[in-house]
Each structure stands twice: as C-alpha cells, then as structure tokens.
Amino acid sequence: MRERIYQIIEKSEGEDKISALYDTFMITMIILSLIPLAFKTENALFYIIDKVAMVVFIIDYLLRWMTADFKFGKKSVWSFVRYPFSFMAIIDLLSILPSMSIVSSGFKALRILRMIRALRVFRMFKAFRYSSSFRIIGNVVNKSKKSLIAVGILALGYIIVSALIVFNVEPDSFETFFDAIYWATVSLTTVGYGDIYPVSTLGRFVTMVSSVFGIAVVALPAGIVTAGYISEIEREEKNGESEK
C-alpha cells in the first residue's frame, strides 16, 4: 500500500495515469495558491484557495514523509528522520507554514507578516519535482556544486574587496559599508543602477576594473551550468536509446 502511494506521489513515469493525474492536480494547486500573491487585497475566495491549498500541501507532505524509506531506498527509521531535512521537504514545509494561522498570528506581533506572506512563493519550487527539465537542471547543479561553490566564493570575495577599496577611496559617496557592498554587487553583475556611484577619477577607475572583472566572474557559472546541461542531455538521450 505504501509503495503504491509512493509511486503515485512521485513524478509520473511511463503509463501510470493515476500518478500523472496526481502531478497535474498538484501543479494546478500550486498555480492557484500563487494567485492571491498577485493582489494586495484579500477576499473570501483567496482565503478559501489558500486554506484548501494548505490542506492539500500538508497531506502531500505527510504522504511523502510516510514513504521516505522508498525514496531513499533504505528500509530503516533513519529514512524518516532524514526526510524533513532534505531540500524538497524544506521547500514543502516553507510553502505550508505561511498559511497556518498560528504561525501568521505569531509573526503579526513582529510586524513582518508581509515577509511570511511572501514565503508562499516557495510553493512555486514545489513544481520542480514534476518537471523533467528542472530535474535535469537539478542534476547539473548537484554534479557541478563544487565548481559553483568555488565561483560563488570568488564572487563574494571580489565583492568584499571591491567594496573595501571604493569605500576607502570615496568615503563621501558611500555613507555606510553596506552602500559599498550594494555598489560592488550591481557593478559585479554589470547592472549599474546609477543611484550610487563614485565621482572621483580614482573611484571611476575602480568601477571600470570592477565591471570588467564582473563580466568574467558572472560568465563562469553560466559556462559551468551550460556545459553540465549539455552533458546531462546527452546522457539522457543515450539512456533513452539504450532502453529502446
């Protein structure tokens, strides 16, 4: 019984119509649950949609937890202990909590209800498990995580160094170090909003160097993901041909 439930709630494979129907139902519920976020006001319909979605997501979360041993392929109690800490389980939990009245009421006292409401956007990530394309991207990121982490550390280090340099070169243009961090980030990504910028010759030179190196740093993860994606697509195609 539990094994059949696991087959249904996991992404549909082959000709399992019930599993395909469940996938369609969950994607529909995810999309419907996001509609209220597009409006500033709340009404009875949005309230009902949110509560129905919350119940559906809770049931889905419990079913996945109940069949965790099939997911991890280990018939032990540790599978059930491990599941709540898995990435998708955390996403599932974050998509449920904002709709729970107890949690929302508690955070009203802290005056960050809008942040809790915005956390419902995590429901969009629930749709990832039902898409083959997102699954491929997930595999690419997982296999390339060491390279991506290295690039992330490089980018973070570059932002901090650039911010420190410009903060000391032009203390009048940047009131706080956070302003310098903000400037370095938008310069690194070559966005350059123009709301904060150096005015001296030396400061502008630092900006030019930062922007040029920013292009290279931003291009690195794009190249890594693209190469990994092509490799994963080729592997998927070979597996499909071998199955035939």
Domains in the chain, CATH or no CATH each: 2-130 (1.20.120), 145-243 (1.10.287.70)
What's the pLDDT score for residue 233?
A: 79
User: What is the pTM for the complete model shown?
Assistant: 0.57
What's the pLDDT score for residue 244?
A: 54
What's the pLDDT score for residue 54?
A: 86
DSSP letters for 181-240:
HHHHHHHHTT---SSS---SHHHHHHHHHHHHHHHHHHHHHHHHHHHHHHHHHHHHHHHH
Mean pLDDT, the chain cut into blocks of 10 residues (244 residues total)? 82 75 85 79 84 88 88 79 85 77 48 50 65 72 82 86 86 84 80 72 81 79 81 74 56
What's the pLDDT score for residue 114?
A: 46
User: Would residue 190 be called left, alpha or beta, if left means φ above 0 and alpha means ψ between -120 and 50 degrees?
Assistant: left
What's the pLDDT score for residue 108?
A: 46
What's the pLDDT score for residue 131?
A: 65
What's the pLDDT score for residue 118?
A: 56
